[in-house]
Structure 1
Amino acid sequence: MSIIKRVLSFAFLIFLLRLIIKGFLILVKAFWFVFYWLCWYPLFIAFYIGLYPLIWLYKRVF
């Protein structure tokens, strides 16, 4: 193989690797966004809704 073909194939492999990494990062960000709004955020809301009567009761008693 000539040097030009080697350099081009190496550059193409680096380009493919960058594309794969960029796609993977986009998937991770999308998964985190969905996980946050569907799982984590409602957990916080439920936690505070559940905690509010306990705080109210604590203030009434003490």
Structure 2
Amino acid sequence: MKMPTSGKRVYRDLDNGVVAGVCAGVAKYLDVDAVWVRGAAVIAMFMMPAVTLLAYLAAVFLLPRWSL
């Protein structure tokens, strides 16, 4: 069974990234400002640090890089 795809993928945005470009890439995928995604990441880091850190590190290693 073939699933329809939109052609939209998540990448790490190294040009607009602060640390590794994960939040900037997610923001570009969601079509929002990167400040909102970074703010959510900081709040998540205070609320559940182990899960957030593990998810961020997994994204750093698993998401492909994208730069201009």
* TM-score for both structures, normalised by structure 2: 0.25
Report 1 or 2 for greater relative contact order, CA contacts < 8 Å, sequence distance ≥ 6: 2
Structure with a larger share of its residues in strand: 2
Give the number of the structure whose alpha-carbon radius of gyration is greater.
1
* TM-score for both structures, normalised by structure 1: 0.27
